[in-house]
Structure 1
Amino acid sequence: MQSKIDGTTLPVLSIRLEPGEKLFAETGELSWKTPNVMLRTTTSGAGASGFLGVMSRALAGGGIFMTEFSAEGGPGMVSFAAKIPGHIVEHTVDGGGSYMIHRHGYIAGTDGVRLELGFQRRLGAGIFGGDGFRLQRVSGYGRFWTTLGGEIVSYDLAPGEQLDVHPGHVGMFEERVNFDITMLPGIRNKLFGGDGFFMARLTGPGRIWLQTLTMPNLAHALAPYLGSEAVTDVAEAGGIGAAASLIGRIFE
């Protein structure tokens, strides 16, 4: 299985499949393919087994169903285009570690990669982390691809080293990194600072990937170019749906 990422601001992931190879992707991610690549909608993809496994993946943002891609009669190609400005990155899991990804970050993975809900180790992170609570946990064996918004800034945290990050900018991190929520200091900062009440505190050791573009920030930047009624309508969609609706209305 060979992969190629083309483009810059709105990249495209193209994967060459040989007969017998399988690729599992989120439903709705397909952009184009060769005719000999077959699709099969299934609930058992990405390592899910049984009802609880499927629900765990769905709660993490992966959905109840996955799409299985395979090539018949010769090599084939399937492509996935980014839905927002950002980057697509390839990763590998070998059974010795796992990753936590923001809930819209996972695109696709090879057979043997497991996708499920990533539970927070601390109650505060779950209650106040916003989208940080709905993390996707990726483990198993194989290769997988993620999409992060805007530019990607990565850090290798030493043991005990900490970084405070707005929860929406946390794109991905190794599971061994501790994720907790801390409050901003000072009443004036909380009420008038415009940065919210809470920050995600990431503690090493481990590698983290931060994204510079968040969906709320993108929607907020586009809002002045739309009428108030349009902003109200698309705000109810939330996340990527809101941003896509805003962009669509601009070009109507």
Structure 2
Amino acid sequence: MLQGFELWVPPVPLEFDDGMPYYEIIGTDAQIVQFPLKRGRQIMCFSGAMAYMSDGIKMDVQLAGFQKTFGRLAGGGSLFQVTYTNESGDDNAYIACTGDYPGVIVPMNMSSTGKIICLRDSFLCATVGLGRPMTNISAGFNPASNPISFCCSGIDFIVQTVENGEYAFLMAMGTVIKKTLRVGESIVVDGDSVLAFESSVTVDVRAVGNIAAICCGGEGIFNTELSGPGTIYLQSMSIDKLRRLFPPHVSSSSGDGDGGSSD
């Protein structure tokens, strides 16, 4: 692709000693991620993410302390953190997770990625290996470089931070592309197009232009500017865009109580 952009495609997952992949992504527009759950391995997710699982898998629900719970809620997660553990003694157990809106599932190898910053509501689940630390999901402030950027960058005040662990899985919508920014390289984006970026990327704003551009361009006063070094992930659709396409409908009821008109 032009200018260093790459069409994101699911990477080939690591494999267990028996050749079984760590995960399998199924489907196209509303995907499922399925995991072979070896003995003692775990899947960590938020409430409602589990789609189906084999017998003998134990579910454990926990708050994990006030600070972590508040961080999950502020970052768009659920009140409870759920872990599923294979306690059956069978290496052929399995479990699958899916998002609560149509989208594609983006796996992140946290061993090589380190810490990433993503939009609220985007974290789906994570694998927990034997003897490996659990992926830490918390809330962080918009990592803007100054107060104006913080308020006007188009990225939420509160974002999700994901770090540590094995594999983490994010929910995206539409087509996902990625670009690795060099030191000092910047890109101007619409805030709704941002899915995630590495913690080394800095956030700033850039004025759209003159009065005509501000009033008629449809982009507001500022656009988001992301600067390297680091990798960014962009999406062609977002849950916020989808919500704007289908605004809440408020029905007005008539005096007869059935909302209809009388002849």
- Give CA deviations for 1:91-143 in whole Å, capped at 9, x if unaligned: 12238731011111111113321111122333334323455332111112321
Q: Name the TM-score, length of structure 1 as normaliser.
A: 0.80
Alignment RMSD, CA only?
2.1
- Give CA deviations for 1:226-251 in whole Å, capped at 9, x if unaligned: xxxx5348xxxxxxxxxxxxxxxxxx
Contact 1:103 1:131 in 2 (8 A): no
* 2:43 matches 1:23: yes
Corresponding residue SS for 1:185 = coil
How many Å apart are 1:3 and its aligned residue?
0.7
Contact 1:132 1:170 in 2 (8 A): no
Residue identity opposite 1:137 in structure 2: T
Q: Distance in 1 between matches of 2:249 and 2:207?
A: 29
Q: Distance in 2 between matches of 1:24 and 1:213?
A: 26
Q: Distance in 2 between matches of 1:78 and 1:126?
A: 39
Worse overlay, 200-209 or 35-44: 35-44
Between structure 1 and structure 2, the one with the greater Rg is 2
- Give CA deviations for 1:39-76 in whole Å, capped at 9, x if unaligned: 111112xxxxx322221222111233111111121232
**Cα pair distance change 1:96/1:157, threshold 3 Å:** closer
List alignment gaps of at least 5 residues for structure 1: 45-49, 224-229, 234-252
Counterpart pick for 2:215 among 169, 176, 191: 191
Q: Name the TM-score, length of structure 2 as normaliser.
A: 0.77
Counterpart pick for 1:119 among 124, 141, 148: 141
How many Å apart are 1:28 and its aligned residue?
1.4
Query: What's the counterpart of residue 231 of structure 2?
Result: 207
* 2:71 matches 1:52: no
Percent sequence identity over matched residues?
22
Q: Distance in 2 between matches of 1:23 and 1:43?
A: 16
Corresponding residue SS for 1:141 = coil
Corresponding residue SS for 2:219 = coil
Contact 2:102 2:173 in 1 (8 A): yes
Q: Distance in 2 between matches of 1:177 and 1:114?
A: 20
Query: What's the counterpart of residue 29 of structure 2?
Result: 9
Corresponding residue SS for 1:94 = helix
Query: What's the counterpart of residue 97 of structure 1?
Result: 114
Corresponding residue SS for 2:75 = helix
* 2:89 matches 1:43: no
- Give CA deviations for 1:194-222 in whole Å, capped at 9, x if unaligned: 22222211001111100101223323445
* 2:70 matches 1:70: no
Corresponding residue SS for 2:39 = coil
Worse overlay, 170-179 or 79-88: 79-88
* 2:191 matches 1:179: no
User: 1:76-91 residue pairs with structure 2 within 5 A?
Assistant: 76-91=93-108
Q: Distance in 1 between matches of 2:113 and 2:239?
A: 32
Counterpart pick for 1:167 among 150, 167, 191: 191
Corresponding residue SS for 1:149 = strand
